[in-house]
Amino acid sequence: MARIKKGRLVNGILVLDKPTGITSNAALQKVKRLYKAQKAGHTGSLDPLATGVLPICLGEATKISHYLLDADKRYRAKCILGAVTTSGDSDGEVIDTKPVPNITKNQLLELLASFEGEQDQTPPMFSALKHNGRPLYEYAREGIVIERKPRKITLFEVTLLDFSITKDECVPDFIEIEVYCSKGTYIRTLCEDIGQSLGCGAYISALRRIDSGPFSLTQAISLEQLYAQFEPEQALDEAQQIQLDETLLPVDSAIKQFPVVALNKEQLEQIQHGMSIEFNDCDGDTKAHNYRLYYENTLIALAVLDNNNHLKPKRLLFL
């Protein structure tokens, strides 16, 4: 007997402004309960300390979530200079302190520019990456260090927003930076590397994601805003449910970079059966790899273009 799924069929993307103090999964579960959704998934973890853009995919949107996982991100971070913590952020215990050197704005700009470009970065122990089914931060809290392999990342831009080096023991020295980077980049590791380059150590005291792929803070809504309108534990009437669903962005808002192909009825039936369709609507110099397939303005599938000019369905949606 097939298992009956709990919840309702709701499809779309909520651009959540994640609050500090909770995990991304905890934020996901709150959203899933509020929308009473059958399926939900987030698109790239933010640490409990971090806030900002966390796209949450509901229903059919979960089928395209990996495109958001692979997307570039933009962050703003405040790095405290002169100390190192166990976790690389302000949640950890300070384990070393050193004096902050005298450094000018131009020297800071030169230092930050030196971090730009493709490079290898080793994920920190305090991260959600898993080893034998457990996140690394659980091992870290037990004092266990797991060997991690470096991975390729790209720092497209590291911009200095503000800094203060006063040598006043009552006022921590800091730099504030904005980082535009590829997927898989750990800003706490970058902050630690900056501190190491300065010879004084550093850790993150605040981190905010301002862009994730095509989504930005201007589109984001907080849990507080949602809860002010909709009680998560109460049943919503039809009008409230419609109003709640209007906070969601369409599924295809995450993949606007892919060209559109309109299908006729014959092509629709072929795609529905997993068959490829011939495609000769563009010349060889402008062909893309991924395409969005629509039938009567409804997103039907994502497809890839093969070497024989055929579109092969990769993911079926709303079918």
> What is the DSSP code string of 104-156?
-HHHHHHHHHHT-EEEEEPPPSSSS-EETTEEHHHHHHTT-------EEEEEE
Do 258-316 and 12-70+215-252 fall under one CATH topology? no
Q: Considering the candidates 17, 47, 89, 173, report the single residue annotated as catalytic.
A: 47
Distance, CA of 193 to CA of 190 (rounded, Å): 5
Catalytic annotation on 47?
Answer: yes
Going from N- to C-terminal start, the domains of the chain cover 12-70+215-252, 73-212, 258-316
CB within 8 A of 284, min separation 6: which ones? none
The pTM score is: 0.90
Mean pLDDT in order along the chain per 10 residues (319 residues)? 70 96 93 92 88 96 90 97 93 92 95 97 80 79 84 97 85 94 94 96 97 96 92 79 93 93 93 89 62 93 89 87
Tokens for 111, please give them: 């230092």
For the structural domain made of 258-316, what CATH number should be given?
2.30.130.10
Instruction: Reply yes or no on domain 73-212 having CATH 3.30.2350.10.
Output: yes
What does CATH list as the number for 12-70+215-252? 3.30.2350.10
- Tokens standing for residue 76: 């703003």
- The token pair at 232 is 């998560």
208, 51 contact by CB (below 8 A): yes
